[in-house]
């Protein structure tokens, strides 16, 4: 079996042991004579998975009793619409901190529902290269909520603090950095994340929501299935849940717990990012990271090489050496390395070694040497 090093941005690498467990259990789930894929979402075997995944999330992210966990479908993209549908009343406006492609899309959906105001946005040469500091945010104290993207998967930027939105509920798209570091859930009205990076495979979206806020949600003109309240009251089983992705998330969360939990993940993620950004800064004539140092993402590192031709060659040679998914998003170009939890420190060291060798082999000698 030849497994490559998978730096894909999402769907992305899963721990080998998690995949193996699914393979072993696929045909006969725990002696029941059928696959978990074939079990009813209302039966006991799946019911136990459903309960355990919520318990594990609560434990790993220290989710307080004030917040509930929902499993939804439609990806993070559906949450761009669910949030305003539920919380953006016709006479209100919501604040959006726009730090990249995903925030732009989220805000556009809100504008279909009612008013949305940009609390901050900055592009340099058409690119998002940093996140704002608190003092730069133009927040409306009467906003229905304030929306942020905690990690910008395409731009390679990440918030390293939680913005203070005062009494306005803070909503965060944490699709690409949930479980990568401890978070204070109590500061958020709602957190959502598509599962396909740190949580598991695609197909389920995890929503963590402050229960008391649900009581303020709109109902008029909102079909029942699009109300968070319906999902909460149905324990995410109001219709057939995506049982297999949820089961896979459960297995992956067990793995995170075995590794020492979210703090251990954070320590590893810091180590990986230091190794990679360290290599970039050591070879400044060859590698450049356009992202401002204080905004750099620990999950997705983006960088450039001297020419697009060299970037193409880098992608091809990395692939030949078993390292896949390193090509930057088409909207920004360059290279992007996604280092989610399942990417071990050793994998990043292998990449860094390759980067050093590649730079050495392809650097032009200085003009006067």
Known catalytic residues are 102, 173, 197
* CB of 8 or CB of 35, closer to ligand PMP: 8
The H-or-E segment that residue 5 falls in is strand 5-6
Q: Number of residues interacting with ligand PMP: please give it, by CB under 6 A.
A: 11
Among the listed ranges 71-79, 270-278, 309-317, 318-326, the one in contact with ligand PMP (CB under 6 A) is: 71-79
Q: For residue 282, what are its two tokens?
A: 């050591």
Among the listed ranges 42-50, 168-176, 285-293, 311-319, the one in contact with ligand PMP (CB under 6 A) is: 168-176
If one asks whether residue 149 binds ligand PMP (CB under 6 A), the answer comes out as yes
Give the orientation angle of helix 308-320 with respect to helix 345-362, to 10 degrees.
130
Task: Say which DSSP state 177 is in.
Answer: T
If one asks whether residue 109 binds ligand PMP (CB under 6 A), the answer comes out as no
Determine the Cα–Cα distance for residues 39 and 230; give it in Å rounded to an integer.
Answer: 23
**Closest residue to ligand PMP in the complex (CB):** 75
- State the nearest-atom distance from the C-beta of 10 to ligand PMP, in Å: 5
* CB of 6 or CB of 175, closer to ligand PMP: 175
Query: Are the C-beta atoms of 351 and 324 separated by less than 8 Å?
Result: no
- State the nearest-atom distance from the C-beta of 175 to ligand PMP, in Å: 4
Q: Which of 75, 189, 203, 334 binds ligand PMP (CB under 6 A)?
A: 75
Give the orientation angle of helix 44-60 with respect to helix 243-258, to 10 degrees.
40
- State the nearest-atom distance from the C-beta of 273 to ligand PMP, in Å: 17
Determine the Cα–Cα distance for residues 194 and 202; give it in Å rounded to an integer.
Answer: 7
- State the nearest-atom distance from the C-beta of 297 to ligand PMP, in Å: 10
- Tokens 């009251």: give the residue: 233
Q: Which of 12, 99, 175, 268 binds ligand PMP (CB under 6 A)?
A: 175
- State the nearest-atom distance from the C-beta of 151 to ligand PMP, in Å: 6
If one asks whether residue 77 binds ligand PMP (CB under 6 A), the answer comes out as yes
Q: Which of 153, 236, 252, 269 binds ligand PMP (CB under 6 A)?
A: 153
Instruction: Report strand pairing: 335-338 vs 300-303.
Output: antiparallel
Determine the Cα–Cα distance for residues 118 and 98; give it in Å rounded to an integer.
Answer: 7
* CB of 92 or CB of 105, closer to ligand PMP: 105
Helix, strand counts (H, E) of the chain: 10, 13
SS3 label, residue 8: coil
* CB of 75 or CB of 328, closer to ligand PMP: 75
Among the listed ranges 72-80, 136-144, 250-258, 261-269, the one in contact with ligand PMP (CB under 6 A) is: 72-80
Q: For residue 310, what are its two tokens?
A: 């060299």
* CB of 81 or CB of 276, closer to ligand PMP: 81
Q: For residue 363, what are its two tokens?
A: 């650097």
If one asks whether residue 163 binds ligand PMP (CB under 6 A), the answer comes out as no
Among the listed ranges 111-119, 173-181, 182-190, 245-253, the one in contact with ligand PMP (CB under 6 A) is: 173-181
Query: Are the C-beta atoms of 265 and 180 separated by less than 8 Å?
Result: yes
If one asks whether residue 102 binds ligand PMP (CB under 6 A), the answer comes out as yes
* CB of 189 or CB of 354, closer to ligand PMP: 189
The alpha-carbon radius of gyration of the chain (Å, integer) is 21
* DSSP output for 295-349: GB-SSEEEEB-SSHHHHHHHHHHHHHTTEE--BPPTTT-SEEEE--TTS-HHHHH
Q: Catalog residues that contact ligand PMP under the rule CB under 6 A.
A: 10, 75-77, 102, 149, 153, 173, 175-176, 194
């Amino acid at each position: 079996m030849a497994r490559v090093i998978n730096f894909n941005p999402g769907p992305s690498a899963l721990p080998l042991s998690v995949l193996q467990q699914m393979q072993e259990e696929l045909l006969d789930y725990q002696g029941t004579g059928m696959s978990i894929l074939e079990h009813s979402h209302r039966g006991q075997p799946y019911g136990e998975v459903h309960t355990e995944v919520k318990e594990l999330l609560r434990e790993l992210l220290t989710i307080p009793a004030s917040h509930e966990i929902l499993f939804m479908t439609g990806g993070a993209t559906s949450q761009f619409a669910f949030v305003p549908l539920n919380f953006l009343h016709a006479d209100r406006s919501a604040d959006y901190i726009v730090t990249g492609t995903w925030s732009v899309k989220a805000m556009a959906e809100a504008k279909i529902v009612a008013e949305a105001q940009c609390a901050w946005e900055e592009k340099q040469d058409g690119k998002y290269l940093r996140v704002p500091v608190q003092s730069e945010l133009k927040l409306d104290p009467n906003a229905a909520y304030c929306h942020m993207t905690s990690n910008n998967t395409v731009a390679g930027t990440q918030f390293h603090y939680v913005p203070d939105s005062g009494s306005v509920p803070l909503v965060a798209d944490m699709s690409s950095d949930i479980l990568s570091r401890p978070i204070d859930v109590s500061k958020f009205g709602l957190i959502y994340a598509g599962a396909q990076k740190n949580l598991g495979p695609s197909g389920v979206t995890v929503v963590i929501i402050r229960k008391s806020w649900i009581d303020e949600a709109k109902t008029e003109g909102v079909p029942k299935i699009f109300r968070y309240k319906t999902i909460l009251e149905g324990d995410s089983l109001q219709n057939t849940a995506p049982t297999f992705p949820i089961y896979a998330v459960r297995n992956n969360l067990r793995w995170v717990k075995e590794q020492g939990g979210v703090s251990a993940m954070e320590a590893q993620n810091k180590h990986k990012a230091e190794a990679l950004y360290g290599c970039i800064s050591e070879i400044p004539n060859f590698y450049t990271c356009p992202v401002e140092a204080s905004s750099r993402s620990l999950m997705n590192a983006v960088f450039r090489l001297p020419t697009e031709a060299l970037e193409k060659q880098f992608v091809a040679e990395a692939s030949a050496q078993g390292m896949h998914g390193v090509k930057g998003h088409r909207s920004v170009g360059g290279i992007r390395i996604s280092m989610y939890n399942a990417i071990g420190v050793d994998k990043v060291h292998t990449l860094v070694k390759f980067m050093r060798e590649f730079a050495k082999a392809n650097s032009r000698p200085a003009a006067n040497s």
